[in-house]
Structure 1
Amino acid sequence: LSDTVPGVIADMLARLEEPANHGRVLVERALGYLRAARHGLAEDEVLQVLSADEEVMANFRERSPFSPEVAGLPAVIWSRLCLDLRPYLAERAADGTSLLSFYHRQVGAVVGERYLGDEGARLEAHRRLEKYFRGQPSWLVTQGAERATNLRKASELVTQQVGGECWDQVEGTLTELEFLEAKVEAGLAFDLAMDFTRCNRALPQDRTWARNLRLLEQALRNDLYFIVLRPLTLFQCFWNSAWWYDSPSAAGHHDPPEDGWGEPGPPWEQPEAKLCTLLERWREGKEARQPGFCWVRSLRPPRFALGGPHVSCMRGHGAEVTGVAFAPDELTVASGSSDGTIRLWSVANGMETACLRTHSPRGQSVAFSPDGARIASGAWDENVRVWDAATGEELACLRSHRSTGLSVAFSPDGTRLASGSSDGTARVWDTSTGEEVACMFGHEGVVRSVAFSPDGARLASGSDDRTVRAWDAATGEEVACMRGHERHVWSLAFSPDGARIVSGSEDGTVRVWDARAGAETACLCAQNAAVHSVALSPDGAWIASGSSDNAVRVWDAATGVELACLRGHEDEVRSVAWSSDARLVSGSDDGTVRLWAWEAAETSGRLRGEGREVTCWALSPDGSCVASGSSDGTLTLWDADSGEQLSVFVEDCPTKYADWRHVERVAWAPTGLRIASGDRDGFIRLWDAHTGLQLTSDCCHNGWVTSLSWSADGEEVFSGSDDGTVRIWDAGCLECLGVDESQDFVGVPQGSDRVDPGHVGPAAGLKLQIRETGVDIAWFPPYLPRLSAQPTRAVWTGGVADYLAIFALEGDPDAANA
């Protein structure tokens, strides 16, 4: 007998293969199929796959020449082998049934090497399993004629198609809406995202559908958490994102890039295969299977086009995300939030894998130890905590700070932990004993960021006193003080060679310093937005920054040139981190964690209207137009049928101060011929809706305009302000007809005559329901906190950042209600 475990297993398999026992063919095929299966196989599945194997059946007839002719392998043949294998197999529940798999991983490893080590054998096993599962329906009919997902097909099919290099088949599967819907409705949306990832990593890039499958994966990941909560919106989410990518209708919504489209031109001018054609086919099939099904169609392209740098969005935090970090193996991201939790996320599919509760009411800074076994967190509860990354158990709580611990960093060897605090100190701790080994005094303000040099000899700290300081990490002695920032220093990082320190500040700059001499070597401007976080790529070639204008920027570390500006967050970006393959993760005040692949992004056109923050909006009385106000004092008119921008109205005499130019309210006259707008500067303005001419702007409040409305006959305009008054104006000359200081005027959003949007929650989106019965028929995307409706048409508008959304209800509400 062999003296190693793998050798003993191989001896056991050799005995089973002997002609006097079960023979080589049966053992090889049965165990090969079990090994090739993703989660294992049910006993009846093993028997059915073996029965469809011509070589197994031929071997059976050869070994049993006197057996009567049978269509499949007799159950007793497999049962005998299974009985001999029982000590090495385990049964476990998965996919709604009981599956056989190998009891120990070494058994599976030996089986894989022995029976699937040859590429031809491996491909053959996957292809036979692929054929078996592909032949099954995506939906099963249960008792009561209700349908249920075929979980075994949903779980195994794509894995077998990729493993067997069945490229035609996997392209067909991932572009079949029924399969996608069956998987999502079974609660397997995250697994579906992994199916796309498996396919896209393996699919030859010269195949026609390679690019489109990558874009479909991006579309799915963009809305993944919404789809998990609302699986019936899968088609809607794909349409509102992927259909617009190459539809000819997108041409009227985009301006070309600054350098032109280049070759091969914009996506809508490309030949088939096209995503818009696929989505239209899906729509036809869905309408045939489910007549009158309701969904919300976007009349404008998505805020961020497919092909861009955004990879995935991870939702789950209930407050702003203040810290993010990649695990050393880059399979996991940790995020800290003001909701009092640290959450761990799978980089592969974006799923939350763990939630650690810190009970701190304020922001969390997070850092992984170099071996990935521990996570450190600093928060406003005066504690620095260390956690077991695998179990979530709290391992240590360090309490020496006299005030809040705002930043944490492990030393390169993992033996020390540094923390910065609002008491103006930076401290170093022994991670094995929890004892404080050094304390750095010298800052005259809150220490917001700390970082070890790559050799662990120095510690850098950034503070509200506008300085970056370098310290001897062993003695706590200050070795350099870098001055130049004009406001608080929020973040800093060492370059991989330890020669430079990069810092980000509330003054809107990213500065690069010589780590030894303390001299400033470069200053990068972040568009007058406070820089909350900076990070250097592992090779030191790029700097990433997260800022208060909701953007993540990438800079060339050598030249200081801005290489990319990544937009997708809906609030200030608080933290950024790099992976070794140049991906970025970011956390924001919008409560999300986002993953970016900025180098792989396509050149895209500029969405018309982009760059002007949408502050308010209103539909015209006939529902044909939408007027939106912006932070730059302009009004924009949109076609409510096509979603295209029609015109932009500009003030005759802009307010001197840009912050006061925000248009706070817009309202249409009952005739639809005029528009009233109210600004942050207190002015009420009237506009000709057709020409865009400003008719008058002589009337003014002493504060922001908070509400605006017309009288039913269009003769008067009512305005409310935070100056505590409601004013009535003559709509012809805007002469003030009266002032009421006893109440505040509040405008009430209009609703349609049959369907109402009702609030559910930020992750679940706004729901659309039949007013009389309360039946939910459709869901709006979660990024819209509020909507306005046109009273006679099923059209809704909403805004976020610089994007105006316009939606129309498709389908028959009566059919959905029934």
Structure 2
Amino acid sequence: MKTDFKFSNLLGTVYRKGNLLFTPDGTCLLSPVGNRVTVFDLVNNKSYTLPLFHRKNIVRLDLNPQGNLLLTVDEDGRAILTNFKRRIVIYHISFKGPADALKFSPSGQHFAVGIGRRLQLWQTPSVPGTDAGGDLEYAPFVLHRELTGHFDTIQNIEWSSDSRFILTSSKDLTARVWSLDPQDGFEPTTLAGHRQGVKAAFFTADQEAIYTVSEDGALFRWEYTTKRLEDEVDGEERWRIMRKDFFLQNDAKLKCASFHAQSNLLVVGFSNGIFGLYELPDFNNIHTLSVSQSNIDFVTINKSGEWLAFGSSKFGQLLVWEWQSESYILKQQGHLDSLNSLVYSADGQRVITTADDGKIKVWDTSSGFCIVTFTEHTGAVTDCKFSKKGNVLYTASLDGSVRAWDLIRYRNFRTFTAPSRLGFTSLAVDPSGEVVCAGSQDSFDIHVWSVQTGQLLEQLAGHEGPVVSLAFAADGSNLVSGSWDRTVRIWSIFGRSQTSEPLQLQSDVLSVDMRPDGKQIAASSLDGQLSFWNVFDAVQESAIEGRRDVSGGRKISDRRTAANVEGTKSFTKITYSADGTCLLAGGNSKYICLYDVTTGSLVKKYTVSVNMSIDGTQEYLNSKDLTEAGPRGLLDEAGEASDLEGRIDRSLPGAKRGDAGARNTKPEVRVSAVSFAPTGRSFCAATTEGLLIYSLDTEFVFDPFDLDIDITPDSILDTLQDAKKSSHATSTDDASFLKALIMAFRLNEAPLIRTVYESIPYRDISHIVRSIPQAYLPRFIRFIAHSTEETPHFEFNLLWIESILSVHGRYLKEHNGQLAPELRALQRVLDDFRDSLKRLTEKNVYGLNYLLSKPVLASKKANNTLRINESAPVDQEMIEIE
């Protein structure tokens, strides 16, 4: 089994905090998810997570106008500059303080960042590898100017369209106009008049006016005019308030605003979850809609002004709304509380997660989106399992029910309950789908129900402690249960006697799993041991000491080192790989361990997160973060200087898990569930950060359709001629034909591509298809579809199609969502040709039947000739058939 798994995607969380950002073309939305950035492709309906990660949660991000440089800043002011298109981290820098505002200039040559009350203007670093950039620079970030004048935090930054002036809004009730470089006759201007902090300020498209929006819902329009007073001949020319409008939302605070200058659209979000869309300067209300039950933290508009994106951190909501058609383009929400379990569907295309918020979510692994949410459970959902046959999902909950879900019709079709009210914490389903078993912490019995009738069949007694883990053998012959009474029991559910075989361990059992062949049991215990038992002999075969492997990371209040903390010394969830050779284990620490079952060795250790905003990710104690009052991270150092909403603590006393969407308390890093995909090519982990997917197929192939100075029509034809010569001399030369084909695709000239395509010998088709890069497959399939439709070489095209489907069939199936347009085009062309061929054959049948129905002259039968009867009206012609 291959073990080189790499981080592939982050699901289960769509927005944490910070600002949202549309790409310059307006088709993709960037959302900060903890210490990572997720990109939602709204046109192709897919999402991916960039490989960059910060040491704290990201609070600000921005793209340059060219769309190739992404700058992200975390809570401590540490920034990472990334080549967005290539997904490569280029530079790191620290701004020496928290950044509350960030904006690139329209020219892309500078960017402005607000550090507290200071405004810093930096020169944009050049991109390595380009003509202007060259190699990496030693000091890429150059501070252009630092401006001071505000008396409180800068909340928003806007640039003029010519990149000469900067407009800042601050909590000190003012907005200010600055210049990038000193201008003759220009002095920095202060726009004062609001009664509460200014949330945002914007230039109009012609830069003749400025709009400012404050937290109390006031909208001011400023113009640079001359107002003549009574006692003066010439009035003073300066910025003046020409109009005042107010958003009447009762006691709701204005939390965010965004302005689209080209269409004069202003969108504002309030703390009660309502947003308003207004047309300026007349202040016409176009829409007022409630999109969330909590405050809207950020809103932005794409370049065309058609889509509005909203982010709500409390509930982890991300919405994209098209205001003209009044419809949602994207509506996603993560779990509100800690993930408890996960399971893959049988085809590996879906991942189902359950959490303490009582919701069950189904995620599409190829697109990264949640496609359905079940909310029937009234308590925390603790476990979920898939049936081996069919699309049936089973879930166990603390509300005292086990439910069966039909994932084709998306409905709950069966509910199982116990005679007394119990909270179920573990679940197992018979492979045949006949029975479902559940264990509880309230009762020490295992409850067995019939799926067909919904009746309780049996209560398996024997354990003396809560049953925390259940697993069925692949053939359904045995049920394995693990309990806190330090035993693992093997039950024969369908046997004549319901007796069990107890296997004694040295500590409380936390998780059990059965090897796919049903011959071995793996059990994880509280002392960090992984024990492996033979099912038939009930003998322990081997053991792995996992205490050192899983331990790591110290909490902010720990007085011990990470190696001596007892809470991270065990695995709470284990699972076998599909072939049974490896075991994946995770616990209440930041590590996921992959073991080789045969040798008992640690193959690889994966770090879940390095995000220091989560408790338990630090390895060493920093003495400067310790004060006489306790750890600095647990103290409110801002005090009354912070906003009132930020000082209110609505968390329950003693709550450690916290609200994963808002992160009011510091959640602890842990892995609550792990699972291998049925194909074995990836595995998934339910963590505090969200749903992490690690895959073997994570090699990012950069868009290869780039031109080189050596790729010309003449060089392509020369390469093709060399391939033909070598093909005649050595019977085949696939590499030369493949090189010519790739060069033609890069140049993207249709006649040239067809010339190379039709010059390839049919005997080399399968070899070339096997070697063609997967990045070229979509364009290649589209080309073959057009070629089949426009050229007469139908059999030649069919050979290509057959080779593609046989060689790359698995890739096409796993990425059917991305390749759906190409496959549909191919299917349409084949259907059209089949229909035309059918019509032609039917027409020929009628013609042949007509000819065969005519009489044959006896004098010509011996010579195998056919003469048409002279009485037939066909010009007395003779038709001979050899």
TM-score interval (norm. to shorter): 0.3 to 0.5
Which structure is larger by alpha-carbon Rg, 1 or 2?
Answer: 2
* TM-score relative to the length of structure 2: 0.31
Looking at secondary structure, tell me which structure has more helix per residue.
Answer: 1
Q: Under a length normalisation based on structure 1, what TM-score does the superposition of the two structures give?
A: 0.34
